[in-house]
Structure 1
Amino acid sequence: MNDTATLDAYGVLTEPATLKIERLLPGTVDRVWAYLTQSELRRLWLASGEMELKPGASFELIWRNEELSDPPGRRPDGFPEEQRMESYIIAVDPPRSLTFAWRQGEVEFRLMPSGNQVLLTIIHRRISDRANTVMIGAGWHMHLNILTSRLAGQKPETFWDGWTRLREEYDRRIPA
């Protein structure tokens, strides 16, 4: 496990279609688990959508990125104000891991206590191509920035400005 001094906030490719990103978050595993699984808390950093925590259960995630920061920043061309994705639970082991799938792959969340923090590992599998890897990397990175701010009781960075900056950085980091 990485410690605070060596933990890189950027996602890395662990294989051609798999992005892994780790983040040390303030708080307890139970608190972070609530932000992953409870719609009203998850909507503050990612997307809303009630989910039944059992394998095979379907649910819908609803992104409204303009609601994640004030101000939201300028939404890039081609992005809708709201995005919905049908998803389903693959595996769940409260409060340690959650895996679900949607049309853009499979996402696994792992939580591990690390002192008075929590190491959150996200593994996003089956990413279709490099362009999506860049966008997904920037998306997870920015959403985790928002989550970190929320958990720390701080005002989050402007979502779209941060995402745009991170997209450029991931474009430089992800091999062609």
Structure 2
Amino acid sequence: MSDLLDTHGVVDADSTLTIQRLLPGPIERVWAYLTEGALRRQWLAAGEMEMRVGAEFEFVWRNDDLSGGAGARPEGFPAEHRMRSRITALEAPRLLAIEWGSTGGVTFLLEPAGGHVLLTLTHRRVAERATLLNVSAGWHAHLDVLVAVAEERLPPPFWPGWLRLKQDYAARLGG
């Protein structure tokens, strides 16, 4: 299913990453993977969200738990990472935008595509190159896990994939 799209993200002149995935529908099912903590922790990070603009929440990452063979965690990455965030836009079940650290934020847009759902993720203004490489590889790897989970397949090992993708994005984005 997801082979229909180039799975790599595109970075524009404003240091904004856009990446897409095609997921099995219906749209409400994909929306649940974005907004419900128990489902979201299977592919990204745990954390309960109150579904209203302005609501604050905390993401809790445990990337080692995302697949059966997570692989060795790279040096400098903790077993658990937490980040406070806030919902900045919400149009269920189509649009969710959130604050993301010191960047311009992340938007998830869902569009029906036949029996599937096209997910477009936009991470705005990631200006620092090292952060851009981590973010690009991270979103790519996490979305690969989401596709596998949504298709009821075993997710790929997270850390080896992330390391490979970071090198891939470094080559794609140049010096």
Which TM-score bucket, shorter chain as reference?
Answer: over 0.9
Number of equivalent positions: 174
- Aligned partners of 1:40, 1:4: CA distance in 2, in Å? 23
Partner of 1:14 in structure 2? 12
Tell me which residue corresponds to 1:29. Answer: 27
Unaligned runs of 5+ in 1: none
| Alignment match, 1:45 | 43
- Residue of structure 2 aligned with 1:70, choices 63, 68, 71: 68
> Unaligned regions of 5+ residues in structure 2, if any?
none
Q: In the alignment, is the contact (CA less than 8 A) between 1:130 and 1:174 conserved in 2? A: no
Q: 1:146 to 1:127 in 2, by over 3 A?
A: same
Match of 1:155 in 2: 154
**Residue pair 1:104, 1:126 contacting (<8 A) in 2 also:** no
Secondary structure of the structure 2 residue equivalent to 1:15: coil
Aligned to 1:170: 169
Corresponding residue number in structure 1 for 2:56: 58
TM superposition shift of 1:26: 1.6
TM-score of the superposition, structure 1-length normalised?
A: 0.94
Contact 2:2/2:21 (8 A) holds in 1: no
Aligned to 2:141: 142
Instruction: Point out the structure with the larger strand share.
Output: 1
Q: Post-superposition, which runs of at least 4 consecutive aligned residues in structure 1 deviate over 4 A?
A: 3-6
Distance 1:83 1:144 in 2: 18
Q: What secondary structure does 1:53 align onto? A: coil
Instruction: Please give the per-residue CA displacement for 1:50-77, whole angstroms capped at 9, x wherever unaligned.
Output: 0111111100000000010111101000
Are the counterparts in 2 of residues 104 and 128 from structure 1 also a CA contact under 8 Å?
no
**% same residue:** 48
Shift of 1:6: 5.9
Shift in Å at residue 5 of structure 1?
7.2
Q: Quick one: structure 1 residues 67 and 6, their matched pair in 2 at CA, closer, same or farther if it must change by over 3 Å? A: closer
Per-residue deviation at 1:7? 2.2
* Higher deviation after alignment, 7-16 or 164-173: 7-16
Q: CA deviation at 1:116?
A: 1.1
- CA drift of 1:175 comes to 3.4
CA distance in 2, matches of 1:64, 1:171: 24
Query: Within 5 Å, which residues of 2 pair with 1:117-132?
Result: 117-132=116-131
**TM-score (normalised: structure 2):** 0.95
1:101-130 deviations in Å (ceiling 9; x for gaps): 021420000000101111000000121311
Of residues 92-101 and 4-13 in structure 1, the stretch that sits farther from structure 2 once superposed is 4-13
